Structure 1
Amino acid sequence: MLFRRATPNLWTLITPPTVWALHFLFCYVAGAIICARYPGALGELRLSIAAGTVLALGLILAAGAQAYRHWGFGSDLPPHNEPTEDDQQHFLGFATLLLCALSAVAVLFGAMPALFIAECVR
């Protein structure tokens, strides 16, 4: 996998929202630049947003697979509130898994305007 680590840490926790934020910035900054300079290039913009969305979802999926492994494949159900290393790993894995799901939905919603906007409005 891309992000193979033996134990989770805060970097694995913030990876999915960071990917979402970068995707969001890419979609809206690229849309603003294209509409300001090249209003006829919406087809190319849609393709680049689609490619960026697939890339972002792939990265989030990879982070989700790692989080699922850190969670212990769902072997222990929450709450993970004991002061042990195993519970810390399970908690961070489960929290990262939930953030992956939220970030994937946010990426899809961030890419939706590319489907529905027909032309640039000045």
Structure 2
Amino acid sequence: MAEKGQLSREFAEEQSSLWRIAFAPTVWAVHFVACYATAAVACAKFPEAELAHVGVWRVAISAGTLVALALIAWIGWRAWRHWDYLDDHDYSHGRDDNESRHEFLGHAGFLLAVVSFIGVLATWLPAFLIEGCT
């Protein structure tokens, strides 16, 4: 009976890890849609003005970028702790046991957070660098 309770706890922990893996790319996707929607609204409302003169839109996009980067950094930090690499310096997860599965999910979550962080920066750059809508 005790084994069944332990299995359900391990399953619940791994299930929450799966959600953490998907959260960083989701933040990136929401940021992508929000940035391009904001730029589309700015260009529709002010078609002849340069975006540099419409500082409110750039500030809004930059603020959203900072929030997204903070969320992804927090997710990455939690995944790094979940990976527990510094404890045993084990980056290989080939064994079929709970510890390897647990560390693999942390490793995958950390790498997805890194890719998502870079993706958010790449999405933000056009709003920062492009001067106008045309």
In the superposition, the TM-score normalised over structure 2's length comes to: 0.80
- Give the counterpart letter for 2:75 in structure 1: A
Identity, % of aligned positions: 38
* Higher percent of residues as helix: 2
Q: Which runs of 5 or more residues in structure 1 are unaligned? A: none
Corresponding residue number in structure 2 for 1:9 = 17
- Give the counterpart letter for 2:87 in structure 1: S
Which of 15, 18, 21 is the aligned partner of 2:29? 21
Which of 31, 45, 69 is the aligned partner of 2:81? 69
Deviation, structure 1 residue 29: 0.9
Larger radius of gyration: 2
* In 2: Cα distance, 1:49 partner to 1:73 partner: 35
* In 1: Cα distance, 2:81 partner to 2:129 partner: 37
The size of the alignment, in residue pairs, is: 117
* In 1: Cα distance, 2:38 partner to 2:120 partner: 15
- Are positions 1:56 and 2:64 aligned together? no
In the superposition, the TM-score normalised over structure 1's length comes to: 0.87
Cα RMSD of the aligned pairs, angstroms, is 1.8
* In 1: Cα distance, 2:104 partner to 2:126 partner: 35
* In 2: Cα distance, 1:22 partner to 1:113 partner: 16
* In 2: Cα distance, 1:49 partner to 1:104 partner: 15
Displaced runs of 4 or more, over 4 A: 5-8
- Are positions 1:80 and 2:93 aligned together? yes
